[in-house]
Amino acid sequence: MAPKNTKSTKTRAAKNTRVPRVKSAPKVTRPVFRTGTWVALIAFIAIIAAAIYMNRQAEEKAAATETPAAEEAFIFPEDTVVTSIEVKPEQGDTVKIERNEEKVWVLSLPEDAEADQGAAEAAASQVGALSIVTTIEGNKDPSIFGLDVPVYTITITFEDGKTSILEVGDSTPTDSGYYVRVDGDKVYVVSPSGIDALASLTFAPPYLNTPTPVPTATSTPLPTEMPAPATEATPTP
């Protein structure tokens, strides 16, 4: 009897016996960006936005600096020739200076007198230097600006015969100028220096020689008669 082939039997048995496969654990999916990454990204975006904002601010400031300022405006032409100035205060004496036929400045109010030519000419030069700070738009109540009862009324006559009246009201809340109505029409804020110079004529008229006040005669009271001192009677011996 032939011997059995045990080797082939073992091989077949090994083939028929399968080793079970071990299933691998499911893979854990990680987020693409971690929390720290998001924080860094937001901070980076904030830095870029701040840089853009600062650049725009710098550009706007540069543009504002390069923009030319508006041309300064004046009430009257700078080269205007003045022949008389009359300043009437709300209270007090009116002062008027004018050029006579010889083109010499004289005072005609409050009295006729010779004028200091330098002081009078300096006052006249202020007329052409009355610069406009602001124009008041619209028809508003004059009392808002103190123009219902002007502090000063300044009448100016020019070489061509034209006359202009300036009514000076209150100063602005910021003291940047005075409210001035020109010829009863437009209201402006006018720089204070020129108005102050013209208003000063009322309390410092440009006399060539300051008039000496004439003393007022006062009546001297008559001396009263003093009564004679009483004498004691001498007894008769």
Residue spans per domain, the chain: 73-199
| Residue-by-residue pLDDT tens, the chain, 237 positions | 445 555 454 555 444 555 555 555 555 555 555 666 767 777 778 788 777 766 665 554 444 333 333 578 999 988 889 999 999 999 999 999 999 999 999 999 999 999 999 999 999 999 999 999 999 988 788 999 999 999 999 999 999 999 999 999 999 999 999 999 999 999 999 999 999 999 999 999 999 986 555 555 444 454 444 555 555 545 554
d(CA 47, CA 70): 38
d(CA 154, CA 163): 10
Q: Identify each DSSP E strand in the chain by its residue range.
A: 73-74, 82-89, 95-99, 105-109, 113-114, 131-136, 152-158, 163-171, 178-182, 186-190
d(CA 76, CA 130): 7
Q: Output the pLDDT for position 123.
A: 94
Taking residue 150's Cβ as centre, other Cβ atoms within 10 Å add up to 22
Q: Under a CB-based contact definition with an 8 Å cutoff, are residues 145 and 129 in contact?
A: no
d(CA 121, CA 166): 19
d(CA 199, CA 204): 9
